[in-house]
Structures are given as structure tokens and as C-alpha cells.
Amino acid sequence: MAKLVVIKEPEGDRTPYLRGILTQSLVNAGLSFNDAYEIAQTLKSDLKDASEITSSELKDRVRRLLKEKFGPAISLPDKQTNDAAHNILVRSSGQTTPFSVGILSHSLIACAIPERVARKGAHRVFATLRNGGYTEIDHKTLRRLTHRCLREHCSQEAADRYLSWRMFERSGKPLIVLIGGATGTGKSTVTSEVAYRTGIARLQSTDMMREIIRAYLTSQAVPTLGYSSFEAWRGIQAPTEGKDGSVENPLVAGFLAQFTTIKPAIEKAVARAVTEGVDMIIEGVHVLPMHLNLRDAGEKAILVPLMLATLKKDLLGKQIKKRCRENAERKSSRYFEKLDDIWEMQSYLLSEADTHGVPIIANRNVYATVVEVLDLIGQEVEKMFPAHTLNVESEL
């Protein structure tokens, strides 16, 4: 592929085409990261045989791609619009920063407001500032204006969620999200996307916890840790017959024995996040909220437990194959051969979640699942800080 050079007009300066720079520019214009990256990647593919392009031609191509993907609702701001936005300064804690539609959009998405609503709200705020002739605004006034634009141009629901979230941020309570689910249900991918949208930097995987514990304890001491969750039964003695004559499912018995070893690490990680007041997401097959001692965390943090599921066996198999292709160290055949066991493990996890009232989200596609997870988080924030009890003027 030829190296594409962008000729800036009218100066004539020549710079390489950088996909990352275009992606960030589109994010600043109000697009989500995924949409911005897709536009930048499509453009790179379309121009794979070109050696140079002018800046005006590049912008025209970006505008066409935006129109094809979003219609007239989203457009690339022109220089005048960008200059107008950057000429509006936001005062906060003794410092000033240029107003940015993209930053405000991402801030609203972090409040668990749907992306398109967030972008629309941010553009409405900018239009109000521009039409009002603003050159400077303090951050509290900007927040009240944002709330008003959401209420008047988007929905009361979006405005309420924004208000509740702002009160939550002022409370100092951490947000702890617990994402469980069987192997192959997309926990890691969904976790990464939720973390990006909410700005949560601390992520923990129970698989990593298991590996760390294995490094300190011998296989004789904890024999189940040397196996995957659906094969942990290999590390226990054969299950015995109970008083009622039933025999415990060895697959479940092995998994629970493994969980018992990892359980203290999960509880300590949550307790540490609560003590430090730090937001965190823990994901993994060993995330069983119904069997964790989370009483203290439930009182001092916003705790959001959920279970991901893939409700079609053939789809779960496809996801496991895809997961293994993306990670060369995972042997697809071994996982796929154990599909029946993984399916049985999921049945147990979902049954436990349903019995104890833990929300179950069917992961049909990543985008829709992330939206559902964010909505669930938003609902929990609103329960703790209901908007109808808050005063806009004093809380924003």
C-alpha cells in the first residue's frame, strides 16, 4: 500500500495521512470512537492506491462517508464552526479550556446517555452558545444549559439521567460493575467497551486472579486451579452421594471448588475499590454476585451485578471459535470440543442468576449489549439519586 500524503491548502505543506489523527478529529466533532475509527479505516481502504490528496478533497470524502452512514444528521464541522467552538472558553477551578462538542458528547455518554442522544444534546448546546454570542461560560452554567438542552431537544429521561449522574459524581461513591458469564459470552469485549464509554480505568479479570493465585499455591494445595472453569472437576475427588440419594453434578462441583479459592480475591478487590473510592469493573466466569459477600460495598458504592449470556448453542460455538482465532495461544479445538460442558456451565450460571435476581443480558451483538449494560448502570444511579428529588440549580 502506497504511503498517502495530505497536501494542506493553501499552504502546500505535505503530511502523511494518519488514521489516528482523523479518528480523534471525528471524536472531537461528536462521533463515537467506533464510528470515527470506522470512517477513518474506510477512507484509508478507499485511498489505498493513491499517493497524495489535498486537504479539501480529504474533507469532501469524509463528508460523503458521514452522509452515507448517518444521513444529514451528522456532518463534519467546517473551519468556521471549529473556530467558533474553540473561541468559546469554559471556566472551571481557576482554569479555562476551549469548548468541545466531542468532549461534551463523551461526557454525556459517560452518564449512560445513548450515543446519538448525547451527540444531539452536545450539538444543541453548541448551537445555543454560538447563537447567544457566548465567548466564555463557567462550567456550572454550562451544566445547567446542557440539562436544559437535553430536556427541551432530546428527552426528559436524558435530562433526568444527566442530573442523577452529576449528583452521583459529587457523592464520591465509586461505581462497581460485576460482569459474569460462561466462557465465550463476550465478557472481555463488553467490559472494554463499557470501560471506554464510562471512563472506568480499573479493570480486573478473574482469569488473571486465578493465574496469580496459581503462582503462589501448589497444584496439590488447590488442584482445581490448573484447569479451565468447565474442567475444574478434574481436580476434585469424585462427588459423593448425598443424604437424599442425589449425586452433585461434577462439572458444577469442580467449578464451585475453584470459585471458593478465587472468591476472597474478588471480595478483596471490591473492598479495596470501595475504600479508595475508585470505579472498577470485574469480569469473569467466577463473578457470582449471589455467592459473594458484598453487603458493605452495596452500602458504600453503586454496585451493578449482571450476567452475560449467549442463548443459542451454535452462536456460542461460533463466538468461541472467533475468540480462539484472535488469540493464538488458545486452542480452538479444545474449547469447541468442550462446547457441551460450557453450555451446561452457562445453564447453571443463568439458573443461579435468575434465582437470585441478578440481571441477565443476552449478548446478541456488542453494540446492543453495551447499550443495555449502560442503561442498567444508569438505572442503578437513578435509584440512588432520583432526579425528581434533586434541584437543578443547586445540584448542577
pLDDT for the residue numbered 155: 94
Report the pLDDT value the prediction gives residue 1, as an integer from 0 to 100.
45
| In a domain? residue 377 | yes
Mark whether 96 and 68 lie in a shared domain.
no
Does residue 163 form part of some domain?
no
Q: Is 356 part of any domain?
A: yes
Residues 222 and 343 in one domain: yes
Global pTM value: 0.75
**Same domain for 93 and 184:** no
Residues 115 and 197 in one domain: no
Residue 160 lies in a domain: no
Q: Are residues 273 and 349 in the same domain?
A: yes
Of 21, 45, 76, which residue is a domain's last?
A: 76
Distance CA 187, CA 323 (A): 11
Residue 108 is assigned to a structural domain of this protein? yes
Are 297 and 303 in contact by the 8 Å Cβ rule? The answer is yes
**Three cell numbers, residue 128:** 445555543
Range of the domain at 15: 5-76
Q: Does residue 66 sit in the same domain as residue 125?
A: no
Q: Which of 76, 97, 130 is the last residue of a domain?
A: 76
Same domain? For 129 and 275 the reply is: no
Task: Indicate if 119 and 139 belong to the same structural domain.
Answer: yes
* 164 within a domain of the structure (yes/no): no
Question: Cell numbers of 348, please?
Answer: 447453571
Same domain as 180, residue 149: no
| pLDDT score recorded for residue 147 | 95
Do residues 220 and 253 share a domain? yes
Q: Which of 46, 76, 106 is the last residue of a domain?
A: 76
Q: In the chain, how many domains are there? A: 3
Average pLDDT along the chain, 396 residues, taken 10 residues at a time: 76 81 73 77 85 87 81 55 65 85 87 89 92 90 94 94 92 95 92 90 92 78 73 67 60 87 93 95 94 88 95 84 61 69 91 94 90 93 88 72
Q: Does residue 396 fall inside a structural domain?
A: no
Residues 301 and 180 both lie in one domain: yes
Q: Which of 130, 101, 117, 99 is nearest to 29 (CA)?
A: 101
